[in-house]
């Protein structure tokens, strides 16, 4: 069982609610959200019977996730909030869904009155985890700063356990300006060009969708990051991180003029690898 899982027993089935973060190139894609599992005893052992993925991007449900694994998709436009949609199906279609997953024995023994009562607890737990369970990070802002209009770049050497390397932070002021007492700085992108597990974040303090570089394809994460800056990809990346107004206000000419200085300092700071 994953840490932080909430289990709600409802007769011959148990509902499990947990928050998960998926990392691109480790999982299928970068994402975060809540999973609702329906578990029960079948064939002499406890097994997952149904699974609902209530994520930012992945919104799906799976019949017999450890068996035939039939995956169906929610419609993010029509179905609305994935937690609400999933719980509605559990309230109204659970026996039918169990039979569709070939768990007729479990469906036949359901205590529907108890399930209906316990689903109130499941819904409350899932909605709370969906809002408050998100894994976000707050990095240091950097030791060497470069002001670039409505964003700034912060460079630093980071150590994380037995790993580390150069980190480039892209920051902005969401409220006020740096001279205001109420100024609120946020990190919109982070590039951790680490030695062992290099990765980057979209919206570390907001969405925190994290992608690990495939070191076969990207042997030099710093070179890749600088290439992204030079190719003008910051704007769509900042939009994807959840900050469209910041992206719209980028001074791209100013950013281009600063890239040579940022590159020179980054290469100076990046620890040299040994063969």
Where exactly are the structural domains of the chain?
6-132, 144-269
Q: Bridge-partner residues for 166, per DSSP?
A: 157, 193
Q: Which residues of the chain have pLDDT under 50?
A: 1-2, 275
Nearest to 71 by CA among 109, 40, 33, 28: 28
Return d(Cα 53, Cα 191) in angstroms, integer.
28
Whole-angstrom distance, CA of residue 225 vs CA of residue 222: 5
Supply the pLDDT for residue 90. Answer: 98
3-state secondary structure at position 49 = strand
Residue 275, pLDDT score: 46
Return the SS3 of 133: coil
Q: Which pLDDT score is estimated for 27? A: 93
Q: Is 272 helix (H, G, I), strand (E, B) or coil?
A: coil
Q: Say if residues 51 and 60 touch (Cβ distance below 8 Å).
A: no
Token pair of 4 as six digits: 């932080």
Predicted local distance difference test score (pLDDT) of residue 274: 56
């Amino acid at each position: 069982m994953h840490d932080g899982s909430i289990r709600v027993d409802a007769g011959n089935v148990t509902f499990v609610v947990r928050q998960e973060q998926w990392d691109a190139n480790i999982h299928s894609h970068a994402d975060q959200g809540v999973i609702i599992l329906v578990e029960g005893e079948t064939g002499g052992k406890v097994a997952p019977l149904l699974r609902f993925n209530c994520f930012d991007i992945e919104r799906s449900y799976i019949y017999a996730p450890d068996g035939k694994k039939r995956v169906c998709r929610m419609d993010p436009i029509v179905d609305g909030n994935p937690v609400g949609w999933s719980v509605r199906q559990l309230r109204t279609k659970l026996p039918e869904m169990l039979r569709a997953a070939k768990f007729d024995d479990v469906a036949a023994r359901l205590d529907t009155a108890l399930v209906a009562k316990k689903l109130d607890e499941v819904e409350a737990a899932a909605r709370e985890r969906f809002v408050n369970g998100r894994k976000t990070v707050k990095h240091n802002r950097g030791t060497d700063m470069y002001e670039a209009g409505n964003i700034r770049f912060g460079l630093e050497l980071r150590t994380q356990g037995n790993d580390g390397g150069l980190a480039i932070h892209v920051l902005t002021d969401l409220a006020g300006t740096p001279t205001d007492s109420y100024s609120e700085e946020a990190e919109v992108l982070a590039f951790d060009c680490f030695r062992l597990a290099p990765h980057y974040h979209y919206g570390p303090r907001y969405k925190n969708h994290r992608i690990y570089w495939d070191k076969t394809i990207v042997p030099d994460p710093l070179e890749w990051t600088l290439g992204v800056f030079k190719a003008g990809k910051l704007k769509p990346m900042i939009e994807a991180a959840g900050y469209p107004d910041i992206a719209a206000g980028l001074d791209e000419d100013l950013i281009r003029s600063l890239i040579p200085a940022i590159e020179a300092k980054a290469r100076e700071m990046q620890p040299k690898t040994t063969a």
